[in-house]
Amino acid sequence: MEGAGLVLIGSFMNYYVTIAAVFIIGMGICFASVGLTTLYQTIIPKQKMGRVMGLVTVLLTVSVPLGTLFGSMIIGYIPMFAILLIFGVIVTLSGLSIIIIARRDNTSIGKEIVPG
C-alpha cells in the first residue's frame, strides 16, 4: 500500500491526491507493522526477542538521518516526482515479492513428509 501511495503522489502532485495518498501510506504502515511484529514473534526464539528487537530498533533509528542525508542529495539531481515514482515502484515490488515468497512457503509446508 505504501508503494501505491508514493506512486500516486509522484504521478499527480496535487494537494487532494497527496492527502489521499498519505492516508493510504499510513494505513499500509499500520498493516505492515502488525504483520512484521507477528512475523518476528513467530520466527525469533523468545530468549532472543529482546536483543533482536533492540537491534531492529537501532537499525530503523539510524536509517532516518541517513535517508534524510541521501534524500536531500538526490533531490538536487532528480526531480521529486521521479523519485517518488521510482521508490513507489521499488516499495511495491518488494512488497509483492514478500507476498509471493510467503505464499510459496505456506504451500510447501503442507507438502512436507513427516516420518511417522
- Exposure string of 63-100, with b = 16+ CB inside 10 Å and e = fewer, is eeeeeeeeeeeeeeeeeeeebbbebbeebbeebeeeee
Tens of pLDDT along 37-68?
888 888 888 899 999 999 999 999 999 999 89
Neighbour tally for 101: CB within 10 Å: 10
114, pLDDT greater than 60: no
pTM: 0.70
